Amino acid sequence: PLLTSFSLKMPPIQVPAVAGEGEALSHGYDYDVVVIGGGSGGLAASKEAAALGAKTAVLDFVQPSPAGSTWGLGGTCVNVGCIPKKLMHQAAIIGHTIEDAESFGWDVKKPANPEWSKLVEGVQNHIRSLNWGYRVALRDKKVTYLNAYGTFVDPHTIHTVNKRGKEATITADKIILAPGGRPRYPDIPGAKEFGLSSDDLFSLPTDPGRTLVVGASYVALECAGFLTAFGRDTTVMVRSILLRGFDTEVAQRIGDYMALTGTKFLRSATPSKIEKLESGKLKVTYTVDGEEASDEYDTVFFAIGRDACTGSMNLEAAGVTVNPKNGKVVANELEQTSTPHIFAIGDVLDGKPELTPVAIQAGVLLARRLVGGAVAQMDYANVCTTVFTPLEYGCCGLSEDDAIGQHGEDAVEIYHQSFTPLEWTVPHRPENVCFAKLIVEKATDLVLGFHFLGPNAGEVTQGFGIALQLKATKAQFDNLVGIHPTVAEILTTMHITKSSGQSAMATGC
């Protein structure tokens, strides 16, 4: 059974001095702390634990994707997530800037498409430098790095196998689970044989060409966005709604803008089969509105969600409870699992945001509690995030849907405003497609949710995020003097409410 209540202050590991080479630790195990998973959270936790004096090891092993892709130390974000995604998004932004340049007087001719192989080479070179940096950092912090796959033998014992098949066994007083997740594939013929995922796209040696993106997640829309910007014929196959879990209105605006700028959408559709033709093309058979249809593509890319990497860890032997619906580890507010000396952080943790900075902060705070005797714990409320779609979307706090669900429609006021960045006016980009929304509790004037759709959304959201953490009111937003002309200033001048029925379209500067 899952343990549901623990003391806030965990007893720290007793480490008055670090044991030397070959010295026995007082508890009799090989290590004070072993971290399973060398992603952002696992690396942060292991380095912090070692810095505080614990004898620490981190296990990291990348199972090849169905297409055979592997990568180095650092986890999803660095290798096949945030970092390469943002760099390719930036490549798309540069393309749009070149398009705008002529309107600003520059004699610049945009090439037909970016050179895919050169882009991939630049991205991968940067990633490899980060992989090396993480190896050096572990060595400098005196963390033992084991490039091996770990499975539990019992609650304190882990069986490891490296890429050469060499087996070993290690034991630990405390164990932190941080194995992350991997892309999910649909259970249809040809999906794993011929389909790709985010594990493969950023290192793909050949141009993706005409691409079908299956899914409506942020990964699906981000990748479809930059592929369209690169001039690739890109279609997104959507089963139901875009960006489930985010603000519905903003998600719809993102889809509308992507369609306006060239991304195709195949709605109410699900794939049923993928076949490789003699021409090398991939024939995708699918159902749309109840009718069977098919089309041919060069690349089929799945972004339908992610599964926790817990299925082959033998967590049952450690007594760790997982959510049977998603395989994620169930833990309390201290990241403590049903086995008191085993903890979990990052994407593998049930019910928590799947975000790199969340995993890092949770890992550092957990290490400080386990080793340093600290009491501070991770605050999972009001965590900012940004979706790097062609129109970037930053948010913090509640969506409009969730605010109404939790507080009632009559208890919240929605302030909203469309706008056009000044930089878009001279090249005549679409008007009033950018958008901002504040969700306010009427009784307290407290800002419950923040939503920003426009350029540099990540930078804007990071700055305003602290206002929501400090429980800012709408009056305080109004009292803030904006910086002119910027896109962020819109958040200081919002006075149109949905309930008023007034148009939220912007006029003037």
Of the candidates 504, 448, 303, the residue with the CA atom closest to the CA atom of residue 389:
303
In angstroms, rounded to a whole number, what is the distance separating the alpha carbons of residues 487 and 485?
Answer: 7
* Tokens 């008007």, located at residue: 431
Q: Which sign does the torsion angle of CA 214, 326, 42, 457 carry? A: positive
Contact call for residues 22 and 10 (beta carbons, < 8 A): no
Known active-site residue 484: yes
Tell me whether strands 144-146 and 56-59 are parallel, antiparallel or unpaired: parallel
Tell me whether strands 342-344 and 385-387 are parallel, antiparallel or unpaired: unpaired
Number of other residues whose CB lies within 10 A of the CB of residue 60: 26
DSSP structural state of residue 401: H
DSSP structural state of residue 346: G
What are the backbone angles phi and psi of residue 428, rounded to the nearest 5°? 60, 50
Stretch (H or E) spanning 262: none
Is residue 155 exposed (0-12), middle (13-18) or buried (19+ Cβ within 10 Å)? middle
Q: Which distant-in-sequence residues (6+ apart) come within 8 Å of 315 by Cβ?
A: 152, 322, 329
The active-site residue, picked from 416, 451, 484, 495, is 484
Torsion of CA 208, 211, 217, 218, to 10 degrees: 50
In angstroms, rounded to a whole number, what is the distance separating the alpha carbons of residues 440 and 412?
Answer: 5
* Contacts by residues 93-102 (CB-CB < 8 Å, ≥ 24 positions apart): 95/229, 95/230, 96/229, 99/427, 100/423, 100/426, 100/427, 100/429
Q: Which sign does the torsion angle of CA 309, 312, 318, 319 carry? A: positive
In angstroms, rounded to a whole number, what is the distance separating the alpha carbons of residues 96 and 164?
Answer: 47
Contact call for residues 169 and 160 (beta carbons, < 8 A): yes
412's tokens:
């919240």
In angstroms, rounded to a whole number, what is the distance separating the alpha carbons of residues 172 and 152?
Answer: 11
Residues noted as catalytic: 484
